[in-house]
Chain A
Amino acid sequence: MTARAQAIRPRGLTRTEVAQVLLRGTALIALAVMVVVFGALSPTFLQLTNLEILAKQTAINAILAIGMTFVILTGGIDLSVGSIVGLTAMIAGLLINEGLQIGALGVIVYPHTWMVMVIALVAGALVGAINGLIITRFSVAPFIATLGMLYVARGAAGLLNNGNTFPNLVGRPELGNTGFAELGAGELLGVSWAIWIMGALALVAWFVTSLTPFGRAVYAVGGNQRSAELSGIRVDRTKLVVYMISGLCAATVGLIIASQLVAAHPATGEFFELNAIAAVVLGGTSLSGGRGTIVGTMIGAFVIGVLTVGLNQLGVSSFWQLIVKGSVIVLALVLDQLQVRVQRRIALQQQAHADVAPAPAG
């Protein structure tokens, strides 16, 4: 073996990378097949306007799934994102329609629209931080901690307006809080803000996971927490931050939905967490942590998006849609596991040959 000479290949794809692409392949192939099938069955499916609708619908799930990817990479799970969507939507609604009551003075402050957004985002990150603190400080399993938050945040969302909707979130010019609907309805270069935001977040998340020490820490914590700790990685801090990222992504979605509807309803985002988890898992991220990519998550989100939009256009009943969606998720993972097993066997056989007939030293 010429081990030393080709110890590292500076650029281009290595064998493992190719293997990874192939592993990711199941979702990608499924995506391509579905686009072709729906394109053939429905003449409108591949029209540009339809594709934009598709991307816009996918954006909601994709943004949640990006946050969820960080959490799952550390070996955790965040079941509270759907409720955080609802809570932050309601916070935005409250701030626009009723403002902030300060103390007993009866003074009501109406923050600017951009401040409303910042406050909602901070609130989302804070809820995430609470999740993270409960998980790290009190060693509560992420499933339980975030399941609790699923209820708590949903309840809090209802309390903000006694279970009622904040309607008509247009603001008033004299208060300087108009323009909230722009986020949901507005466009840049003919493309909705939601799609831009999805793209930007995906880019940042890809960058963070692959090129920053924090990203490396996320993978290491999910792969082997003890070993990460002994390598000087601050495990608790890393976990705290991933739940904050997830909360932040959920708040972003809460704002987008409230803005699209120009209304905030306390039930907004119910079951979103399950769609997000499905997208992450479809994208090849391991629920046990340490393995997965943002690119995979985006593919996973689009698989779900295409499936939903395509089946809708074909007029498939919503019950059948659920059955198809569930089957696709499980089938993709079955194929994934098969491939992993085959690959492991090949690797072991290669190793057996290499070890039985060792190369001369030197």
Chain B
Amino acid sequence: MNPEPQVTTPTAPGPDPDVVMRAEGVTKVFPGTTALDDVTLDVHRAMVNVLIGENGAGKSTLMKILAGVEQPTSGRVLLDGEEVRLASRLDAARLGIGIIYQELNLCPNLSVVDNIFLAREVAPRGVIDRRRQRAHARSLIERLEQRIDPDTQVGMLRVGQQQIVEIARALAEDVRVLIMDEPTSALSAAETEVLFRIIRDLKAHGVTIIYISHKLDELLGIGDRITVLRDGRMVAHADAGDVDVSWIIGQMVGRDPSALFTRTDHPIGEIRLRVRDVTLPRVGGGFLLDHVSFDLHAGEILGIYGLMGAGRTELLECLAGVRPESTGEVRLDGLRLDEADVADRIEAGIVLVPEDRQSDGLVPTLSVAHNMLLASLKRYLRRFWLVPEWERQAVERYIGDLSIRVSSADQPISSLSGGNQQKVVVAKGLMTAPRILLLDEPTRGIDVGAKSEIFQIMSRLAEGGYGIVFVSSELKEVMAMSDRVLVLSKGAIAAQFERDQVTEEHLVAASAAGYLRAAAAPAPGSALAAVGVAR
């Protein structure tokens, strides 16, 4: 089992004058996942309480519960030692709890003023007092040291300015506790400085801040108390002065990541898939995929690495036949498949396990069994009808093979955890008896245990002579699992590494290659940041 995490148990129950707000034993379950599992968090008065964790650790969910946006499945929230019921955002706002969301929550069609005062308009006798609202908005914006016309439509502002409006909106409420969910992700360095000044100012006025960010060094600069969440559980709690960045990373990641991977050495066979000059034009000129060619052998796991937008998903979609507008040659065991659609290619033996299981992989209205069977229905056909007995046998076999944890194959797919849902999608692919398996980010958003199981399945399949194309944006995964790695950059193959040559530095450098060549002008965001610093 995993090593016991360091947990400093929060102080014994009973009102602690330093604790302004407390989430106690909070559990939040969404269909398919447990976002928070019995989390207890103390929020210290007039301090910057930092919350940190990997994607999917449950930070945002916890904040939404404290802000009344979501309600916990079980557990309770205390304010100044008394239990409060936050049934809606409005309830929390009345108690002086403000939130700045991670995603911008503004109405782009309304003006800055209208957004700032949305749902709490200054309207004596039911008529909005525009002048007072505008004056107030202007003073808030001035406090944030910005020059934004309060009458501008929010949709016309750039993202950083919209974030400022979002902050102004929170300041307009008279808050005691202000939750900031990644407020700096869209801000320039100068804007961040201003925000930090305001945070210190708020603190001096007794306002409590809960602060979430991924920028670790930033957190240590602004934070007073640090809490680490991992996989929906609280794993550590410390004073910011006592810890450093590497401690935080250690707590966030938890176990040693290399223990995840299983790989058996297996012989690599003949060429099964030949891909030549696969090209996908981009709407508006250029290429999403630019003459991509490679071979895939039997028993080989071919890793594909690249940055967002490098064309990884598009490449797999072309191979699976989802992109009829692509050109180039795809041969499976000598058979040309250029003209074949998805159904034909599945028949021929290529199947895609898509990246986004909710939108591309599963049919939420169907049961586990029917989802599994969906791509291979022809196999259970007697004349024109499906034979339930054959279907049942197949489903049972794959539930066992992939150890999918279900209480019944007929239960709705949405009741499974993310990892088990992913295994259902993989099972659906395998049940078509493919020769080539295309896996697009097969471990995204699933817990560590399920990840390791997916890797086990991959190496077992490779041993069995499948050819596997495996897309991942996690360096460690790609390096540990692949026999060979292709690096895509701006739609073209930038480099290719054999297993024994590949290093993180190589991969990162190669993935940026296409952008360096094309980087005549710096991206607008970075230019603004530079200007901001100069000022």
- Give per-residue flags for A333-350: 1 if the beta carbon is below 8 A from chain B beta carbons, else 0: 000000000001001110
B320: chain A residues within 8 A (beta carbon): 230
A258 to chain B, nearest CB (A): 32
B399 contacts the other chain (Cβ, under 8 Å)? yes
B37 and A227 form a contact (CB under 8 A)? no
B34 and A352 form a contact (CB under 8 A)? yes
Q: Give the complex CA separation of A227 and B365 in angstroms.
A: 12
A219 contacts the other chain (Cβ, under 8 Å)? yes
B362 and A356 form a contact (CB under 8 A)? no
A355 and B363 form a contact (CB under 8 A)? no
- Give per-residue flags for B184-227: 1 if the beta carbon is below 8 A from chain A beta carbons, else 0: 00000000000000000000000000000000000000000000
B385: chain A residues within 8 A (beta carbon): 207, 211-212
A219 and B370 form a contact (CB under 8 A)? yes
B73 and A348 form a contact (CB under 8 A)? yes
Contact of B346 among A217, A228, A232, A289 (CB under 8 A): A232
B357 to chain A, nearest CB (A): 9
B359: chain A residues within 8 A (beta carbon): 224, 226-227
A9 to chain B, nearest CB (A): 7
Chain A 184-220 interface residues, beta-carbon cutoff 8 Å to B: 207, 211-213, 216-217, 219-220
Q: Give the complex CA separation of A7 and B394 in angstroms.
A: 12
B343 contacts the other chain (Cβ, under 8 Å)? yes
B352 contacts the other chain (Cβ, under 8 Å)? yes
B230 to chain A, nearest CB (A): 15
Q: Give the complex CA separation of A211 and B377 in angstroms.
A: 10
A6 and B364 form a contact (CB under 8 A)? no
B415 and A213 form a contact (CB under 8 A)? no
| Size range of the chain A interface in the assembly | 35 or more
A9: chain B residues within 8 A (beta carbon): 408, 410
B393 to chain A, nearest CB (A): 9
- Smallest Cβ-Cβ distance to A344: which chain B residue: B31
| Size range of the chain B interface in the assembly | 35 or more
Q: Give the complex CA separation of A268 and B386 in angstroms.
A: 39
A228 and B363 form a contact (CB under 8 A)? yes
Chain A interface SS verdict (over half): helix
B31: chain A residues within 8 A (beta carbon): 344, 347-348, 351
- Smallest Cβ-Cβ distance to B347: which chain A residue: A232
B406 contacts the other chain (Cβ, under 8 Å)? yes
Task: List the count of A-B residue pairs having beta carbons below 8 Å apart.
Answer: 142
A3 and B407 form a contact (CB under 8 A)? yes
A223 and B384 form a contact (CB under 8 A)? no
A310 to chain B, nearest CB (A): 34
B121 contacts the other chain (Cβ, under 8 Å)? no
B374 and A233 form a contact (CB under 8 A)? yes
B392 contacts the other chain (Cβ, under 8 Å)? yes
B410: chain A residues within 8 A (beta carbon): 8-9, 14, 16-17
B91 contacts the other chain (Cβ, under 8 Å)? no
A290 contacts the other chain (Cβ, under 8 Å)? yes
B342 and A224 form a contact (CB under 8 A)? no
- Give per-residue flags for B440-461: 1 if the beta carbon is below 8 A from chain A beta carbons, else 0: 0000000000000000000000
Contact of A356 among B27, B343, B373 (CB under 8 A): B27
A227 and B369 form a contact (CB under 8 A)? no
A231 and B365 form a contact (CB under 8 A)? no
B322 and A229 form a contact (CB under 8 A)? yes
B451 to chain A, nearest CB (A): 15
- Give per-residue flags for A226-260: 1 if the beta carbon is below 8 A from chain B beta carbons, else 0: 11111111100000000000000000000000000
Residue of B346, B385, B432 with most partner-chain A CB within 10 A: B385
A284 contacts the other chain (Cβ, under 8 Å)? no
B378 contacts the other chain (Cβ, under 8 Å)? yes
Q: Give the complex CA separation of A8 and B404 in angstroms.
A: 12
Residue of B363, B400, B406, B428 with most partner-chain A CB within 10 A: B363
Q: Give the complex CA separation of A72 and B30 in angstroms.
A: 28
Q: Give the complex CA separation of A355 and B378 in angstroms.
A: 36
Q: Give the complex CA separation of A51 and B370 in angstroms.
A: 39
Contact of A219 among B365, B375, B409, B412 (CB under 8 A): B365
B462 contacts the other chain (Cβ, under 8 Å)? no
Chain A 1-58 interface residues, beta-carbon cutoff 8 Å to B: 1, 3-4, 6-10, 14-17
B386 and A211 form a contact (CB under 8 A)? yes
- Give per-residue flags for B253-297: 1 if the beta carbon is below 8 A from chain A beta carbons, else 0: 000000000000000000000000000000000000000000000
A222 contacts the other chain (Cβ, under 8 Å)? yes
A290 and B29 form a contact (CB under 8 A)? no
A253 to chain B, nearest CB (A): 26
A290 and B409 form a contact (CB under 8 A)? no
A8 and B365 form a contact (CB under 8 A)? no
B432: chain A residues within 8 A (beta carbon): 232
Contact of A224 among B363, B367, B400, B407 (CB under 8 A): B363
B342: chain A residues within 8 A (beta carbon): 229-232
A230 and B352 form a contact (CB under 8 A)? yes
B37 to chain A, nearest CB (A): 6
Q: Give the complex CA separation of A351 and B415 in angstroms.
A: 7
A-B contact pairs, 17 of them (CB 8 A): A3-B405, A3-B407, A7-B406, A8-B369, A14-B410, A212-B385, A213-B381, A224-B362, A224-B364, A227-B374, A232-B346, A234-B341, A290-B365, A347-B415, A351-B31, A352-B34, A355-B29
Residues of chain B whose beta carbon lies under 8 Å from any beta carbon of chain A: 27, 29-31, 34, 37-38, 73-74, 320, 322, 341-343, 345-347, 352, 354, 359-367, 369-370, 373-375, 377-378, 381, 384-386, 388, 392, 395-396, 399-400, 405-412, 415, 417, 428, 432
Residues of chain A whose beta carbon lies under 8 Å from any beta carbon of chain B: 1, 3-4, 6-10, 14-17, 207, 211-213, 216-217, 219-220, 222-224, 226-234, 286, 289-291, 344, 347-349, 351-352, 355-356
New contact pairs (15) apart from A1-B405, A231-B375, CB-CB < 8 Å: A3-B406, A7-B396, A7-B408, A8-B396, A16-B411, A17-B410, A207-B385, A212-B384, A224-B363, A230-B354, A230-B361, A231-B428, A290-B363, A349-B73, A356-B38
Instruction: Name the 10 nearest CB pairs between A and B, nearest first.
Output: A290-B365, A223-B365, A223-B363, A232-B343, A231-B375, A213-B377, A232-B346, A355-B34, A352-B29, A224-B363
